[in-house]
Chains A and B, each alone.
Chain A
Amino acid sequence: MTVIEQTAGVEKREKSRAWGKLKKSRSALAGLAIILFFTLLAVAAPILPIPDPVATSWSAIRKAPSAAHWLGTDDLGRDILSRMIWGAQASLMAGIFSVAIAIIIGVPFGILAGYFGGWVDLVISRITEALLAMPFLIMAIALAAFLGPSLTNAMIAIGLSAMPIFVRLTRGQVLAVKQEDYVEGARSVGLGHLDIMVRYILPNVTAPIIVQATLTVATAIIAEASLSFLGLGQQPPAASWGSMLNVAKNFLSQAPWMAMWPGAAIFLVVIGFNLLGDGLRDALDPREH
């Protein structure tokens, strides 16, 4: 038996290979850079030489960007740059933690529903549909109101509201993957259900989940903004980009910079997550493109 055909590719470990592939994608690196930039700013907020984000100044109300206030001031005379940096914490956390909650709860339920089918699927899918029937934001508001106003509760509320999307997405993917011969092959070598779900199903359904996650991070950041506006998210005077944006909309004609900076920041972070998500999806796939 001398039929060893040549195959391209050198042996590499999984992690370094995925990272190597990610490094090659310029857009993914740009996304990663944007996210890292804002994350560093958020983490470094306490040690940066910036004014107190909640210090008001009656002499500097709604001032345009200047040497003293690089990004201008808001309606209470607070420094927008400082509030932007401190607000990054709240916004990024809201985005990432709420999506993490949604994935941690949603994906396992989706796998259970898709893998077992039958009444398990029936119960999970009907509940998911009931939850999906409620508009995302309304549900988040209701949950946040029920849990009480705080950033943590806002994140839980957003996470729970985003969860059904992940249940449904995962279930659909599992239904497709379940048909593959390798799943039947796993049964035929005597693997149990848990092994099959963790080692055969989950790794093969991650790509669309990652993409959905990056999109949901963006939605979650905006949802946190809406909850803050209603007083259900970040509590004043602490800042989040969303709450800044919501205040700013009252002064759009007098002080457009108040809306511009948080809007641009949300836009950038959302783009950053989307770019990174696309890159990750390709990098995590062992097949070449």
Chain B
Amino acid sequence: MTDMPVLSVRNLTTSFRADGGWKSVVRNVSFDVAAGETVAIVGESGSGKSVTSLSIMRLLAEGSSRIEGDIRLNGRNLLALSEKEMRGVRGNEVAMIFQEPMTSLNPIFTIGRQISEVLTRHKGMSQSEARAETIRMLERVRIPNAASRFDEYPHQFSGGMRQRVMIAMALASRPKLLIADEPTTALDVTIQGQILELIKSLQEEENMAVLFITHDMGVVAEIADRTVVMFRGDAVEAGLTEEIFHRGAHPYTRALLSAVPKLGSMAGEENPLRFPVVDTATGITVQPAASEHSVVQHSPILEVRNLVTRFPIRSGLFNRQTGSVHAVENVSFDLRQGETLSLVGESGCGKSTTGRSIMRLIEPTSGEIQLDGFNVRTLGTLELQRMRKSIQMIFQDPFSSLNPRMTVGQAIAEPFLKHKMGTVRQARDKTADLLEKVGLSAAVMNRYPHEFSGGQRQRIAIARALSLDPKVIVADESVSALDVSIKAQVCNLLLDLQESLDLAFLFISHDMAVVERVSHRVAVMYLGEIVEIGPRAAVFENPQHPYTKKLMAAVPVPDPARRGLRRGISNDELKSPVRPLDYRPPERQYREVSAGHLVQVA
């Protein structure tokens, strides 16, 4: 019985009812997962990877969905089971962890109770046995002080810790198969590294089969023995992860892989580099020419000096201020015309607040901001509106950054008309021109945002930002929500636009690999402060600050050869920038490592 796979899926086809007929979203997918093995299903949004996992768990709504094929768990056909029998399988023989650790725990019960419920229900343990076992599980997922945290509620845990709790809960019943659906996507990169390590070591201890669903090729390379690549509902390629990475035959696989940014791939390059473009039909790769764009001779368009932004924390009966969030603390940098400066760091490090403070979407507490001749902090309402012609923003989520009630044309023309930069006819021409510039057709002007895909919407948002001919663009995680291939295209677009329009980008991102690709200079932020800033090559090839090093070490490397390596990432949580009222931030000293490369030393 040893060579029989834990999970065996044959010719799985899942369809949904749509417009009176059945529309298949997963077609003829077959794969096996053996004990102790990790199989990754990788694909972009809409590829059917999540539907595959939900089909295995039979979690799709009956009546509106249809699952065909053969799904066997240890030889038992899951599709033939009754709903009642299936309940005995879910959470017991097969456990699942989801993407969003913030919402997948019930906020009104203690975590201890939620885990021990699994044990009392599926394993028939008594309350006290379940409690002891739960504490043991919490220790196994490396939650410090497990016993004392048993009676705490989910909101008392950070995102990474909650995902550990979710894993503890999933593993409590000792499942034979763990389905992990994008379990690290919502987490910061250092936390992602910890969770991946944890899943790997728990799998070894339990000899568990793991089905890992992800869009991230780096994560695949880290964790998967075998990989199934899905594209629009079909499994286009399956095989050993090494095979897929080095000898992937299907054009889509190659396109996907070439779009994956690799940390360290920029060694020896001076300027930002476009992503190679692969035709998903033929698989032919076109390596774009390196950018000839040089920014050295320009003077700064944006100068930020000692920027501080704090948010008051109020509490108590009279709503008195009891502390502050030191979101941005003493941040200084310059940005030249035509240059990309990236702000990198993990959630809560103050990188987005920095961008918004510079635009005065948030009022800074102190500091000086010079932008294109404006002294930003002293501007009145009307001058502030004029200043907005010089600096524009592109947001992260293309699904919420466009007004759903305005057509694309209205949205792009609006700023132009509002600032009285021309007539309605000129606005129309400008809109058409901008749409062409961002790679869309001028004919889409009368459509609404919902008719477009995420990548297209992001292009529309870029066109809107460009309609005022700004000199500086704050791109706040502008490519983070996009699929890899789309991400590469949008990055290329940004680089094209920078070259043709001499734009300066303040590129805010947590994604080190993308940052390495697109930046001229990089600033690493930690707890509201810049801990290291300098030319891209200097920071990436010669990182000095321990936090920079830690951040780079945690980035998943899309190279399966490194899979065996344990990185020994510590279980630190992100610290909080909340300080008491009387807190005085320490004076910081910076050391110049090389020309323009500064590192915080104390």
**Nearest-Cβ distance from residue B398 to partner chain A, whole angstroms:** 9
Residues of A within 8 A of B403 (CB): 182, 186, 199-200, 203-204
Residues of A within 8 A of B453 (CB): 5, 7
Q: Which residue of B361, B404, B418, B448 contacts A195 across the interface (Cβ within 8 Å)?
A: B418
Binds A, one of B23-31, B71-79, B384-392, B545-553: B384-392
**Nearest-Cβ distance from residue A16 to partner chain B, whole angstroms:** 12
CB–CB B464/A189 < 8 A: yes
Q: Which residue of A185, A187, A192, A199 contacts B401 across the interface (Cβ within 8 Å)?
A: A185
Residues of B within 8 A of A188 (CB): 359, 361, 388, 392-393
CB–CB B393/A9 < 8 A: no
Binds A, one of B163-171, B438-446, B575-583: B438-446
Q: Which residue of A4, A190, A203 contacts B441 across the interface (Cβ within 8 Å)?
A: A4
Instruction: Indicate whether A185 sits within 8 Å of B493 (C-beta atoms), given known contacts A9-B451, A190-B415, A192-B385.
Output: no
**Nearest-Cβ distance from residue B145 to partner chain A, whole angstroms:** 35
Distance A204 CA – B443 CA, assembled complex (angstroms): 25
Residue-wise, chain B 211-241 has the 8 Å CB interface mask toward A (1 for contact) of: 0000000000000000000000000000000
Q: Which residue of A7, A181, A195 contacts B400 across the interface (Cβ within 8 Å)?
A: A181
Distance A199 CA – B451 CA, assembled complex (angstroms): 20
CB–CB A1/B401 < 8 A: no
Residue B496 interfacial (CB < 8 Å)? yes
Residues of A within 8 A of B407 (CB): 14
Residue B447 interfacial (CB < 8 Å)? yes
* A95-132 interface with B by 8 A CB criterion: none
* A263-289 interface with B by 8 A CB criterion: 286-288
**Nearest-Cβ distance from residue B460 to partner chain A, whole angstroms:** 11
Residue B258 interfacial (CB < 8 Å)? no
Residue A8 interfacial (CB < 8 Å)? yes
Distance A9 CA – B444 CA, assembled complex (angstroms): 11
Residues of B within 8 A of A184 (CB): 361, 393, 395
CB–CB A3/B451 < 8 A: no
Distance A192 CA – B384 CA, assembled complex (angstroms): 11
Q: Of all chain B residues, which has the CB nearest A6?
A: B453
CB–CB A3/B452 < 8 A: no
**Nearest-Cβ distance from residue A226 to partner chain B, whole angstroms:** 38
Residues of A within 8 A of B361 (CB): 184, 187-188
**Nearest-Cβ distance from residue B415 to partner chain A, whole angstroms:** 4
Q: Of all chain B residues, which has the CB nearest A204?
A: B405
Residue B121 interfacial (CB < 8 Å)? no
CB–CB A1/B439 < 8 A: yes
Please count how many residues in chain B sit with their CB below 8 Å of the partner chain's CB atoms.
49
Residue B397 interfacial (CB < 8 Å)? yes
Q: Of all chain B residues, which has the CB nearest A13?
A: B446
Residue A142 interfacial (CB < 8 Å)? no
Greatest chain A CB density within 10 A among B403, B418, B489, B493 is at B403
Distance A9 CA – B446 CA, assembled complex (angstroms): 11
Residue B414 interfacial (CB < 8 Å)? yes
Residue B450 interfacial (CB < 8 Å)? yes
Residue B456 interfacial (CB < 8 Å)? yes
Instruction: Indicate whether A189 sits within 8 Å of B450 (C-beta atoms), given known contacts A1-B489, A182-B401.
Output: no
**Nearest-Cβ distance from residue A13 to partner chain B, whole angstroms:** 8
**Nearest-Cβ distance from residue B52 to partner chain A, whole angstroms:** 23
Residues of B within 8 A of A287 (CB): 404, 448, 450
Q: Which residue of A13, A199, A204 contacts B404 across the interface (Cβ within 8 Å)?
A: A204
Residue A2 interfacial (CB < 8 Å)? yes
Number of A-B residue pairs having CB atoms within 8 Å of each other in the complex: 101
Distance A191 CA – B413 CA, assembled complex (angstroms): 13
CB–CB A286/B448 < 8 A: yes
* B402-426 interface with A by 8 A CB criterion: 402-407, 414-415, 418-419
Residue B396 interfacial (CB < 8 Å)? yes
CB–CB A190/B393 < 8 A: no
CB–CB B388/A189 < 8 A: yes
Instruction: Indicate whether A189 sits within 8 Å of B404 (C-beta atoms), given known contacts A3-B489, A4-B441.
Output: no
Q: Of all chain A residues, which has the CB nearest B384?
A: A190
Residues of A within 8 A of B455 (CB): 3, 5
Q: Of all chain B residues, which has the CB nearest A202?
A: B405
CB–CB A181/B414 < 8 A: no
CB–CB A181/B401 < 8 A: yes
**Nearest-Cβ distance from residue A282 to partner chain B, whole angstroms:** 14
Distance A130 CA – B392 CA, assembled complex (angstroms): 43
* A166-223 interface with B by 8 A CB criterion: 180-182, 184-192, 195, 199-200, 203-204
Residues of B within 8 A of A9 (CB): 447, 451
Residues of B within 8 A of A288 (CB): 450
Instruction: Indicate whether A189 sits within 8 Å of B439 (C-beta atoms), given known contacts A182-B400, A199-B406.
Output: no
Residues of B within 8 A of A7 (CB): 444, 447, 451-453, 456
Q: Which residue of A11, A181, A192 contacts B447 across the interface (Cβ within 8 Å)?
A: A11
CB–CB B415/A286 < 8 A: no
Residue B34 interfacial (CB < 8 Å)? no
Distance A199 CA – B455 CA, assembled complex (angstroms): 25
Instruction: Indicate whether A1 sits within 8 Å of B388 (C-beta atoms), given known contacts A182-B401, A204-B404.
Output: no
Instruction: Indicate whether A181 sits within 8 Å of B395 (C-beta atoms), given known contacts A187-B361, A286-B450.
Output: yes
* B344-388 interface with A by 8 A CB criterion: 359, 361, 384-388
Distance A97 CA – B392 CA, assembled complex (angstroms): 45
Residues of A within 8 A of B451 (CB): 7-9
Residue-wise, chain B 528-568 has the 8 Å CB interface mask toward A (1 for contact) of: 00000000000000000000000000000000000000000
Residues of A within 8 A of B389 (CB): 190
CB–CB B450/A180 < 8 A: no
CB–CB B489/A189 < 8 A: no
Distance A204 CA – B492 CA, assembled complex (angstroms): 33
* 22 chain-A/chain-B pairs, Cβ below 8 angstroms: A1-B493, A2-B439, A3-B455, A3-B489, A4-B439, A5-B453, A7-B447, A14-B407, A185-B395, A185-B401, A185-B461, A185-B464, A187-B361, A188-B393, A189-B388, A189-B415, A189-B464, A190-B384, A190-B419, A200-B403, A203-B405, A288-B450
- Identify the B interface with A (CB < 8 A): 359, 361, 384-389, 392-393, 395-397, 400-407, 414-415, 418-419, 438-441, 443-444, 446-448, 450-453, 455-456, 461, 464-465, 467-468, 489, 492-493, 496
What 10 A-B pairs have minimum CB-CB distances, sorted nearest first?
A1-B439, A190-B388, A203-B405, A189-B415, A181-B401, A190-B385, A286-B448, A181-B395, A287-B450, A11-B446
Known: A188-B359, A286-B404. 8 other contacts (CB 8 A): A1-B496, A3-B439, A3-B489, A5-B455, A13-B446, A14-B407, A181-B401, A203-B405
- Identify the A interface with B (CB < 8 A): 1-5, 7-9, 11-14, 180-182, 184-192, 195, 199-200, 203-204, 286-288
